[in-house]
Structure 1
Amino acid sequence: MNQQQNEQTPAVEEAKKKNVMQSLQQLGQTNVPTLESNIFCLPVIGQVEGHLVMPPQNKTTKYEHVIPQIVAAEQNPNIEGVVIILNTVGGDVEAGLAIAEMIATMSKPTVSIVLGGGHSIGVPIAVAADISFIAETATMTIHPIRLNGLVIGVPQTFEYLEKMQDRVIRFISKHSKVTEEKLRELMFRTGELARDIGTNVVGRDAVKIGLIDRVGGISDALTELNRLINTKKGELLQ
């Protein structure tokens, strides 16, 4: 019996390794470390992929993976809070807004932290959390939305683009301290970005203009998230 168990052990270990590798390749996640936690970590990295599949060499955050994870975190009673880690160049506007709306409407406490970059449509995702952090060296690019591919040069196209722009601006201003007027001024500023119009804000500048709540690192974000969790527990006990 013991000999049979010993013979099966390498096969079981190999199956576990294979499952970990598949999870890492498909979702960018691994089960290491194995510490059971009451906090769910949601990474938003690379390019936010929407309805069109990006080239295989691009690092992407696929919305069809992220949305079920948010739903699972919301429903799981063992998860008490969510931390969103951003290092993204932006991507699909509607996919990014969908992720941001889901984060904003979660009943559980949420904290976001921008590490490296939280550009373009990454801005709404960052501000969607209850409290947002940014590292001192991290940057955020605020610019108007653009259309890729065939664009029909008729008034309806530009009206659609303007309405989509308004949706992004309203969401950001609603979930941060920056006003719509200031946001539009930052978006349409010329001369700062060499190949685009808009503004690139770094660390403390993002906090100064009211886009992000605080400057800090991962320990600051987790400390704040635990504070929000304890506050929510206290409210439920009353």
Structure 2
Amino acid sequence: MKDIEEKDKSETQDTGDSVSQNSKHLIHCLSVIGQIEGHYVLGETNKTTKYEHIIPALVAIEQDRSVEGLLIILNTVGGDVEAGLAIAELIAGMKTPTVSIVVGGGHSIGVPLAVSAKHSFIVPSASMTIHPVRMNGTVLGVPQTLSYFEKMQDRIIHFITDNSRVIESDLRNLMMNTEELVLDVGTVIEGEDAVRLGLIDELGGLGDAMDCLYKMIEDTKMRYT
């Protein structure tokens, strides 16, 4: 029994999630922090969120009848594009009531993760960086490579616009902005701007996100009977 408890504790530390047992509703809190680690293992000095831990955690939450809602707390610099998009797609497809809140930053692939929940919040001091798809390492300068980047970027843009109120042309303009970042292309937006653009649903803090999730739970029929 002790070994099982230690294993559960270790898994909780790996995924950075927690469940509050003594509350109005049983909420699962999932944190997405640091870099999204996908197909390649990042260095030991990097704080990462591993998608091989997050994916089974989401499956467990979705099938657990006792878990009534999911709160996703985001403070990420981005990371592996396909891994981040895969997590975002899974969250968007959940029947469980979901609310996300961006604290600190929701940069790069963190943007699709933020909008993947059924309702999204951002604190006033948080920021989000919107930029084109990038790749590390050697890149072949051929038309096929550019075509691949364009297709990947379109997938991200369509996901964001499908799951938020942002206008596609506005999003593309923010991505391709060359006048704000000194050594990069893109735009950094703060909390109020993210809401004004329709990228995030609401400006607020943890209490606001919890109230929204509680209301969503109470207004939603049981997902599994």
Q: TM-score, normalization: structure 2?
A: 0.92
Cα distance in 2 for partners of 1:25, 1:225 equals 24
Contact in 2 for aligned 1:127/1:175 (Cα 8 Å): yes
Provide the residue aligned with 2:14 in structure 1: 26
Where does 1:29-178 land on structure 2 (aligned, <5 Å)? Answer: 29=17, 35=22, 38-178=26-166
Contact in 2 for aligned 1:115/1:135 (Cα 8 Å): yes
1:198 equivalenced with 2:209 (yes/no): no
Cα distance in 1 for partners of 2:162, 2:75 equals 22
Provide the residue aligned with 1:4 in structure 2: none
Question: Which blocks of at least 5 consecutive residues in structure 1 are unaligned?
Answer: 1-11
Would you tell me which structure has more helix in proportion to its own residues?
1
Instruction: Kindly provide the amino acid, as one letter, of the partner of residue 70 in structure 2.
Output: V
Q: TM-score, normalization: structure 1?
A: 0.87
CA 1:44/1:230 → structure 2, altered by over 3 Å: closer, same or farther? same
Instruction: Kindly provide the amino acid, as one letter, of the partner of residue 47 in structure 1.
Output: Q
Where does 1:205-220 land on structure 2 (aligned, <5 Å)? Answer: 205-220=193-208
Output the aligned Cα RMSD: 2.3
Identical pairs, percent? 56
Give the C-alpha shift of residue 233 in structure 1.
Answer: 3.1
Cα distance in 2 for partners of 1:21, 1:176 equals 35
Give the C-alpha shift of residue 194 in structure 1.
Answer: 1.9
Instruction: Kindly provide the amino acid, as one letter, of the partner of residue 91 in structure 2.
Output: I
Contact in 1 for aligned 2:129/2:186 (Cα 8 Å): yes
Count of residues in correspondence between the two structures: 223
Max Rg structure = 1
Cα distance in 1 for partners of 2:222, 2:91 equals 22
Contact in 2 for aligned 1:24/1:30 (Cα 8 Å): yes
Give the C-alpha shift of residue 179 in structure 1.
Answer: 1.1
Cα distance in 2 for partners of 1:25, 1:106 equals 23
Contact in 1 for aligned 2:131/2:187 (Cα 8 Å): yes
Instruction: Kindly provide the amino acid, as one letter, of the partner of residue 99 in structure 1.
Output: I
